[in-house]
Chain A
Amino acid sequence: MARVVTAQRTTIRATGLTAFWRKWGVYYLMMAPYLIIFFVFTVLPVLAAAGLSFTYYNLLQPPHFVGLANYQILFVDDDVFYTTLRNTIYFAFITGPLGFFLSFFFAWLIHQVRGRAYFSLALYAPAMTGAIVLTIFFKQNLFSGDQYGILNHFLIGLGVIQDPLIWLQDQRTLLPVVMVVTLWSSMNTGFLIWLAALGSVEQELYEAGRIDGIRNRIQEMWYVTLPSLKPQILLTSVLAIVAAFGQYQISQNLAGLPSPLYAVDTIVSHLWDYAFIRFEMGFASAIAVVLFVVSFGCSRLLFRLFASND
């Protein structure tokens, strides 16, 4: 191939694009179907949402530019926004990390014993049921507001309370209830990742640790297992926090939209309200942008914390 004569060289230079296509074209063709959908429905919408957030758009008339008005209203006048923000932060920073630790902890427990297949199936089962099915059980049976609800029945029988609590209407109990239900179904992708990853740590590291004096399983986990699994920690924590920020279905199914006094509404519930009930696309886009910035910011923070520096 190096024997190409000068006469050929001019031809190649003139047809640089064809050469490029000949070399890389087939790969771009392979990537095209996915990338087109990815750009149209994931990448560009982020930019579009940012653009729309500076407009007033109610779907009936074309959008017209209003500058920062949406953001002004959102941050200054909208009290409901701050309630939903507070709720979302509860979910993101309590249920999220808790679910994350529990995923790891339970996967670790399962890893120590036999019969892993059964335990992992049992603990993963809730995640497979999906929000709707969850709701039927929790709404109608466990947390039902009359004295026939299982929890009420139980507590009244124990004498803890006299009258049945309306779990799903009382804003004191709503938040804990939604958190519990979220936790129950939070053993999902992260859990699977942990189950698999725990089996992939090299045995030699454990041996070395033992020689260095590690006495029990807890030390083993802290000094050997966790450091080896930093990539998994980063991935699962990002997934967990992103899922927590995107939470709205459990709240909506259990408590309705909007929930009593907005007690368990999240940012996404707020977005939904303005986008698909009131059709104020501009304002809703501003909420979407805030959601994007907050969740993306937290993810970057996690990157800082857990990135492997090798």
Chain B
Amino acid sequence: MAIALPFRRGRRVAIGSTRVKKEPIGIYIVLVPLSVLAVLPIVFMVSQALKPLDELLKYPPDLIVQHPTLINFQSLLIATNATVVPFIRYIFNSAWTTVVQVVVGVLIGSLCAYPLAKIKVPGQGFIMALIIAALAFPAQVTAIPNYLVVSSLHMVDTYWALIIPALGVSFNVFVMVQFMSQIPTQTLEAAKIDGASEWVIFWRVVLPWVKPAVATIAFLTFTAAWNDVGPALIYVRSDAMRPLPLAIATLGATTNIATLGVVQAAALLQFIPSLIVFILSRRSVLDTMAHTGLKG
């Protein structure tokens, strides 16, 4: 016989009548090794990046570095080696395209989502159907025509080619629309009665309200833009325009002793911003995702 106990928001309470709730050890037995397994390659990568050359050549390799050193980062960033392009340039390429994609993407995405979510503009049903349909096939389907458009606009091998086509993804707008539809209409009406124009309403009322969704879209766009090499593989011709992941791939293509530690250091540089951004936005992301789904 079960007793219905009062609950506190967000916490689970008793199952069954006599047992007081306790997380079964069994779950920890699964989760802990799993987490370790998932994190292991990353821990290894961090170690490798900090290892001096003698440790890198050691076999079998140590999981944790014995004498950590920053020399790999030094060689990577400061010493300009035989190549013409300093490594910082690659980092800048990635950083620039990512930042622009995040800022512009969030802006135009929320701008578009507001009328779709709260105002029923004519043609809205059609547009929403297109946006949802765009979720249903992989982006590679559009790769060829996109290339033709970009090259006819003479944008190949520029930052534009890496930024603009990528802004056409529909997931961001989709998430934003879902989140925005929860804004209470009274708030918007009140602002309108106070004489605010739509733009002011957007900036002062809507955007602050959807901060978690903004953070989420920023996070997703960041991850995609920072890590994705697809567009770069197609559009980048000159060495100087390469984004960071592509540069790492070239570095790591041949395993030779001179670049061992340097490659790992570069990979670590690639990983750390993602980690920081995730930690900063985790709460907001979970808040937003709680309200996202497809009714179909």
Contact = CB atoms under 8 A, between A and B. Distances in A.
Interface of A: 24, 26-28, 30-31, 33-35, 37-38, 40-46, 48-49, 52, 106, 109-110, 112-114, 117-142, 148, 150, 153, 184, 187, 189, 192-193, 195-197, 199-200, 203, 206-207, 210-211, 213, 215-217, 220, 229-232, 234-235, 238-239, 242-243, 245-246, 248-249, 253, 268, 271-272, 275-276, 281, 284-285, 288-289, 291-292, 295-296, 299-300, 303, 306-308
A217 B138 contact: no
A216 B16 CA distance: 8
B64 interface: no
B270 A211 contact: no
Given A199-B10, A246-B139, 20 more contacts: A24-B122, A26-B199, A34-B167, A34-B173, A35-B112, A109-B31, A128-B275, A135-B252, A136-B248, A184-B38, A196-B287, A196-B292, A197-B292, A199-B290, A232-B292, A234-B294, A242-B137, A242-B138, A249-B229, A268-B138
A106 B33 CA distance: 12
Contacts of A289: 141
A185 to B, nearest CB: 10
Contacts of A299: 135-137
By DSSP majority rule, is chain A's interface helix, strand, loop, or mixed? helix
Q: Interface size bucket, B side? A: 35 or more
B226 A292 contact: no
B108 A34 contact: yes
A231 B296 CA distance: 8
A286 B77 CA distance: 44
By DSSP majority rule, is chain B's interface helix, strand, loop, or mixed? helix
Nearest to B263: A136
A22 B41 CA distance: 58
A137 B44 contact: yes
A149 B140 CA distance: 33
Given A26-B199, A130-B270, A306 B59 contact: no
A207 B5 CA distance: 8
Interface string B1-37: 0101001011010011000000110011011001110
